[in-house]
Amino acid sequence: ETLRDERDGQEYPTVQIGSQCWMAKNLNIGTMVNSVNTGSSHSAVSNNGLIEKYCYDNDPVNCAVYGGLYDWDEMMGYTTTPGTQGICPTGWHIPTDAEWCTLTTYLDATVNCNYWGWSGTNAGGKMKATGTTYWYSPNTGATNSSGFTALGAGTRDHNGNFNDLRYYAFFWSSSEFSSTSGIYRLLYYDTASVFRDITNET
């Protein structure tokens, strides 16, 4: 089914994967904020009652294609409760680390959810959009057999730089490792595995 976000009218396909229902397109809610490299860790968004996002290379066209890029705090709506609604539409929530584990182990039983680093053999491939329009070649193992349709949206780093469009897809969880670092999943153009790690929340 297609989800229509009543806040701005944008639509998102959804997909049932095992016992879970996921959006099959990245969220793009919010007002774009320009990101500038300051040479030190910082956030250009704030807890001001507005949903704010970054667009890769400060270009709104990239948000339209790949979705918004969000700091952990902004994504969470400035709470720290795992599984919170955050910036999601009503009835949806930011997945926890455990919910990411449920997804990836359903797709590939060899995924080790307690491991920091690359795990499994093909869960990532089953989640990646096929071809080389949104991923660089060779887009290893990409079948999108799950219907998740991950795109290589790249990232904004904590210094304000944009990196790795069509190389990586980063997905936050709503679970923290510490008060300054969140747990995420990552897909890569050159492997069919899934990466689990922590990074700075900005």
The mean per-residue pLDDT over the stretch 136-145 comes to: 98
* pLDDT value of position 159: 94
Token digits of residue 167 = 């190389």
pLDDT tens for 150-196 read 999 999 999 999 999 999 999 999 999 999 999 999 999 999 999 99
Reported confidence tier of residue 111, pLDDT bands at 50, 70, 90: very high
Measured distance CA(153)–CA(64) in Å, rounded: 11
pLDDT tens for 17-41 read 999 999 999 999 999 999 999 989 9
Asked if 50 contacts 30 with a C-beta cutoff of 8 angstroms, the reply is yes
The mean per-residue pLDDT over the stretch 103-129 comes to: 98
Measured distance CA(147)–CA(18) in Å, rounded: 12
Mean pLDDT value across the chain: 97
* pLDDT value of position 102: 98
Three-state secondary structure string covering the chain: CEEECCCCCCEEEEEEECCEEEECCCCCCCEECCCCCCCCCCCCCCCCCCCEEECHHHCHHHHHHHCCECCHHHHHCCCCCCCCCCCCCCCCCCCCHHHHHHHHHHHCCCCCCCCCEEECCCHHHHHECCCCCCCCCCCCCCCCCCCCCECCCEEECCCCCEECCCCEEEEEEEEEEECCEEEEEEEECCCCCEEEEEEECC
pLDDT tens for 49-81 read 999 999 999 999 999 999 999 999 999 999 999
Contacts of residue 168, defined as CB under 8 A and 6 or more positions apart, other chains included, come to 152, 153, 154, 155, 186, 187, 188, 189
* pLDDT value of position 202: 87
The pLDDT of residue 199 is above 90 = yes
- Strand duo 11-17 + 20-23: pairing: antiparallel
Asked if 124 contacts 143 with a C-beta cutoff of 8 angstroms, the reply is no
Max CA distance (Å), the chain: 44
Asked if 122 contacts 142 with a C-beta cutoff of 8 angstroms, the reply is no
